Structure 1
């Protein structure tokens, strides 16, 4: 997907129609990423709205020269979702999950694949080494800290950091081609 610079600039100048078009273009993928972190459809929908409010309110802080709009948007979404998972109210709500919710979570676990695939990320991530796929999934899609990912993957923190850097560089080379 080519970056819609004209829409981005129009949004930065206060054009609500351009903002609406950007929302339509990116909302499904962003909601999928949020969902993969919070694992709750209602929370993901609420956070999606929060993300786009942040985008509108902070539009002037984005610069086409500094990177892709989707990457900027992804970082806002990821940080918003992670902040939510660390909140006390979210943690309390997770304690009350029934077993039927776990069945729903497991059956919809490919939601991320479907939604990220619609913008073309999946083919790049899938092309990485299996170790990279695990690291990127934990750190960027599931919101793990580096320490949590290190523990989950049972590798030293320094090794995880080095591998993550290598994996991201491999991904960057593939995407930018």
Structure 2
């Protein structure tokens, strides 16, 4: 079955490279569930998540000829483009560029979200401001390191650490209630 799926993906890539609308629709529908959940992590409003997904997929279709299967799986390539498009959309919407903070130490293995159910995580993420939400997702759910997040979002490492501190501060009361259950 895996081989069949790989051949299907290769066929869809060929169709999309030829600007075949039906092929594009099939590819979009095939990846929609996972990519919509990705965008939904960043945007509490469903329409914003859908807009980011659609913008990302448009970039995928425009650049599909550049995909090289020697460098990785196709889905990972698409996922990265859509994730970066969502982050760019957040940046354009004007999150704070720099926050003055003292050095905040954030241990990499201290993930307050590990004990939560996925539906609870999304409810918690909805209460965070966009920049803090994006950094929380990249750090805790995507597994990115602070320097990588800082470079990707064009923020200082101190600003990223401040946002991670904000996550803990804002979610602490809710998490305490969750752990008492």
TM-score category of the 2 structures, normalised to the smaller one: 0.5 to 0.7
Number of equivalent positions:
116
- Unpaired segments of 5 or more residues in structure 1? 93-105, 113-132, 155-177
TM superposition score normalised by structure 1: 0.53
Question: After superposition, where does 1:92-107 map in structure 2 within 5 Å?
Answer: none
TM superposition score normalised by structure 2: 0.52
Determine if contact 1:48/1:77 at 8 Å carries over to the other structure.
yes
Task: Give the 3-state SS of the residue equivalent to 2:19 in structure 1.
Answer: coil
Determine if contact 1:31/1:45 at 8 Å carries over to the other structure.
yes
Which of 28, 32, 37 matches 1:27? 32
- Paired with 1:15 and 1:138, the residues of 2 have a C-alpha distance of 32
Determine if contact 1:138/1:149 at 8 Å carries over to the other structure.
no
The structural deviation recorded for 1:70 is 0.8
Which of 141, 145, 148 matches 2:149? 145
Indicate the structure with greater helix content: 1
Determine if contact 1:34/1:48 at 8 Å carries over to the other structure.
yes
The structural deviation recorded for 1:12 is 1.3
- Paired with 1:53 and 1:68, the residues of 2 have a C-alpha distance of 19
The structural deviation recorded for 1:91 is 4.4
Does 2:52 align with 1:52? no
- Paired with 1:61 and 1:138, the residues of 2 have a C-alpha distance of 25
Question: After superposition, where does 1:1-177 map in structure 2 within 5 Å?
Answer: 2-3=5-6, 4-88=9-93, 91=95, 109=122, 135-137=139-141, 145-146=149-150, 147=157, 150=161
- Paired with 1:136 and 1:14, the residues of 2 have a C-alpha distance of 37
Give CA deviations for 1:16-60 in whole Å, capped at 9, x if unaligned.
211111001001211110110223211111111111111111111
Give CA deviations for 1:42-88 in whole Å, capped at 9, x if unaligned.
11111111111111111111122221111111111111111111124
Determine if contact 1:51/1:76 at 8 Å carries over to the other structure.
yes
Larger Rg: 2
The structural deviation recorded for 1:150 is 4.7
- Paired with 1:65 and 1:108, the residues of 2 have a C-alpha distance of 35
Q: CA RMSD in A?
A: 3.3
- Unpaired segments of 5 or more residues in structure 2? 97-118, 126-136, 151-156, 166-181
